[in-house]
Amino acid sequence: MREMPQELISSERIKQRVRELGEEITSDYAGSDLVMVGILKGAFVVMADLVRSVELPARIDFMAVSSYGMDTKSTGVVSIVKDLDLDIRGRDLLVVEDIVDSGLTLDFLLRSLKAREPASLSLFALLDKVEARKVPVEIKYRGFEVPNRFIVGYGLDYAEKYRELPYIGVLEEQKG
Ligand code: IMP
Ligand code: MG
C-alpha cells in the first residue's frame, strides 16, 4: 500500500481560493484578448477549475516542459516537450502553474514566452514554495504559500502518483 500524504490544504479551501483569484482575473482582464496557458502535467487540475471561475471568453492552451529525470529536484535544464498551439503575439498571456519551487522552470519558460511578444505576460501559481526559491519569479496571482516540503495532490505528483487527490498534502520525508 502506498503512503498517504498528510493534508495541508483542504479541497474546500482550494475551491474558495481559486474562486477568489478567478474573480480577480475576471476584473483585471475584462475586454482583453486573454490566453490562459496551463503547464502540464501538474497544472491540469487547477487549470480546469480556474478557467471555470474566470468569466471571460478566454482561449485555452497547454505547454509541457521537462526538467530531466523523475527526481524531486529541479535541475534548471528545461526543454519544451509540447509547445503552444496558439499564436500569442499581441495577446494577453496568463501562465498557470501548479507550484513555483526553485523558480528555474518558470524563469526559463517566461523568458521564452516573452520572446514571442505577447501584449502582456503574467503568472498564476497555485502554490508558492517561497523558501526554495533560487531565482526570483513574479507571481501575480498566488494561491497559497507552502513549506519547503514535498507537496502532492490536486495535480501535483511524486513519481507520477497522487495527482488525483482532491486536497494538497505533504509526504513524510523520504528515507535515505
Ligand atoms: P522549479 O523549477 O523548481 O520551480 O519546479 C518546477 C516543477 O517541479 C514544478 O512546476 C512542479 O511540477 C515540480 N515541483 C516542484 N516542487 C514540487 C513539489 O513539492 N511537489 C510536486 N512537484 C513539484
Ligand atoms: Mg509543473
What pLDDT shows up at residue 176? 42
Whether 101 sits among the annotated catalytic residues: the reply is: yes
What pLDDT shows up at residue 50? 98
Q: Which residue puts its alpha carbon closest to atom 11 of ligand 1?
A: 99
Ligand lying nearest the CA atom of residue 38: 2
Q: Which of 33, 61, 83, 101 is catalytic?
A: 101
175 or 112: which leads in pLDDT: 112
Q: Which residues of 44-70 are buried (b: 16+ CB within 10 A; e: fewer)?
A: bbbbebbbebbebebeeebbebebeee
What pLDDT shows up at residue 69? 53
Q: Which residue out of 73, 129, 156, 162 has the highest number of ligand 1 atoms within 8 Å of its CB and is therefore the one to mutate?
A: 156
**Strand ranges in the chain using DSSP code E only, listed in sequence order:** 6-9, 34-40, 59-67, 78-82, 92-100, 120-128, 141-145, 151-152, 168-170
CA dist 124 and 139 (Å) reads 6
Mean pLDDT of the chain: 93
Q: Is 5 exposed, middle or buried (0-12, 13-18, 19+ CB in 10 A)?
A: buried
Which three cell numbers mark 74?
Answer: 529541479
85 or 67: which leads in pLDDT: 85
Q: For the CA atoms of the chain, what is the radius of gyration?
A: 16
What pLDDT shows up at residue 1? 64
Whether the CB of 92 sits within 6 Å of ligand 1 = no
Q: Looking at the predicted structure, is the pLDDT value of residue 172 above 90?
A: no
Distance 32 CA to ligand 1 centre (A): 30
What pLDDT shows up at residue 74? 61
Q: Looking at the predicted structure, is the pLDDT value of residue 75 above 90?
A: no
Whether the CB of 5 sits within 6 Å of ligand 1 = no
Q: Which residue puts its alpha carbon closest to atom 3 of ligand 1?
A: 102
* Residue 170 near residue 149 (C-beta atoms within 8 A): yes
Q: Looking at the predicted structure, is the pLDDT value of residue 67 above 80?
A: no
Q: At what angle do helices 44-53 and 11-28 cross, to 10 degrees?
A: 50
Backbone angles phi, psi at 92, to 5 degrees: -95, 110
Determine the distance from the C-alpha atom of residue 93 to the mean position of all C-alpha atoms in its chain, rounded to a whole number.
Answer: 14
Distance 156 CA to ligand 1 centre (A): 8
- Who's near 1: CB < 8 A, 6+ residues apart? none
Q: pLDDT tens across 89-131, in order? A: 999 999 999 999 999 999 999 999 999 999 999 999 999 999 9
Distance 137 CA to ligand 1 centre (A): 14
Q: pLDDT tens across 11-60, in order? A: 999 999 999 999 999 999 999 999 999 999 999 999 999 999 999 999 99
CA distances from 50 to 27, 125, 169 (A): 14, 11, 20
Whether the CB of 108 sits within 6 Å of ligand 1 = no
What pLDDT shows up at residue 78? 84
15 or 74: which leads in pLDDT: 15
